[in-house]
Amino acid sequence: MGTDSGDADNLAGSADETGGAPRSVRDTAAPAAEAGPGGRDELRTERRTVFAMGTVFSFVLVVSASGAGDLQLERAEALLHQLDRLLTTYDPSSPMSRVREGSLALVDAPHEIAEVLQACARARRISRGWFDPWSMPGGCDPTGLVKGWAVEAVLRLFDVPGVGGVLVNGGGDIACRGEPAPGERWRVGLRHPWRADAFAGVVTLDHAIATSGTYERPGQLIHPGTGAATAAAVQASVTGPDLALADALATALAVAGDDLLPDVAALDGYEAHLIRPDGTETATPGFPFTSAGLVDGADSPDGSDTLLPGREARS
């Protein structure tokens, strides 16, 4: 089991503005739609980028002109930093680190620790052990799932009046709700593992997608049985209704390769795509491509590497 690669190079884009440098922190707004009949509020797109958990979290909100999402964005940023303090394995004094070393009983730890470990146990069972945080050196390491779990936690904050749609991108682990504009669906570009200026394909997104790979940070995917660095895929992506599970399955699929595809296909609502080391690709039958194969950034309307119509994000 390992961690996702290339986190800092993922960004979100909208039909109204291009994505900025992924490490920048910026707040911008642009119209998403004109005021409708009957004096309905004008919709606009608001964007924010937060650095937490060692990666960049990007928010794209479609809100009424009253700024309904401002308070929720502040709460989301605060929650991410809180979860980082609780769940990090890099700080030996964090509750997660103390549970790992045995100095803090799980029953005495913050409830988030037990929830994350329960999600890890479920993912280990579903993946037939290809995702196994308990096989990592130093004790249980939920890194391959916790970022997706955190995105789901902050996404729930935006289920409030005045927010018509939201997409949260946590270093390539993406979840969304609502619509980017009336009658539209969110779309996500899958980063090409060998070409930073291109997508490997574009998918429509109903809720969540996670991507894991080795092309930027070799050696971070670990075989749970041997402890050796290994990968059967240079990139693996999983879509589904639960980003935490999709995150874990993408990590497992990158290690296991084709062997795990039937298990993902058998899960209700989940689909998967992988790119093998020789460049060949395969996917489950229902993987939601809108366009498959290499898609150059130059093919987008403004020549950028975000395919802007339909409000796409990069995974």
Q: Alpha helices of the chain — where are they, by DSSP H?
A: 70-87, 95-101, 111-126, 143-155, 243-256, 261-265
Q: What is the pLDDT of residues 158-187, one digit of tens each?
A: 998 889 999 999 988 999 999 999 899 999
Quickly tell me which residue has 């004109």 as its tokens.
Answer: 34
Neighbour count for residue 126 (Cβ, 10 Å) = 20
pLDDT of the residue at 23: 26
Average pLDDT over residues 73-81: 95
CA distance 69 to 184: 20
* pLDDT score of 314: 55
Is 203 in a helix, a strand, or coil?
Answer: strand
Q: Residue for token digits 């916790």?
A: 146
- Amino acid, res. 137: P
Question: Quick one: DSSP state of residue 179?
Answer: -
Mean pLDDT of all residues in 9-31: 31
CB 273 within 8 A of CB 236: yes
If residue 174 lies in a helix (H) or strand (E), which one and from where to where? Answer: strand 173-178
CA distances from 109 to 67, 242, 311 (A): 36, 24, 40
The 10 Å CB-count burial string (b at 16+, else e) for 236-256 is bbbbbebbbbbbbbbbbbbbb
Set out the domains of the chain in order of their start, with CATH numbers. Answer: 7-79+146-314 (3.10.520.10)
The mean pLDDT of 23-27, rounded to a whole number, is 27
CA distance 295 to 198: 6
The confidence score (pLDDT) of residue 226 equals 76
Q: Which amino acid is at 256?
A: A
pLDDT at 25 over 50: no
Q: What angle do CA 166, 170, 175 make, to 5 degrees?
A: 40
195: closest CA among 212, 219, 216? 216
Given a cut of 90, is residue 42 above it in pLDDT?
Answer: no
**CA separation for the pair 146, 96 (Å, rounded):** 11
- Judged by phi (left if over 0) then psi (alpha if -120 to 50, else beta), residue 43 lies in beta
pLDDT digits (tens, 9 = 90+) for 193-240: 888 888 889 999 999 999 998 765 565 777 787 777 778 899 999 999
- Segment 242-300, tens digit of pLDDT: 999 999 999 999 999 999 999 999 999 999 999 999 999 999 999 999 876 655 543 33
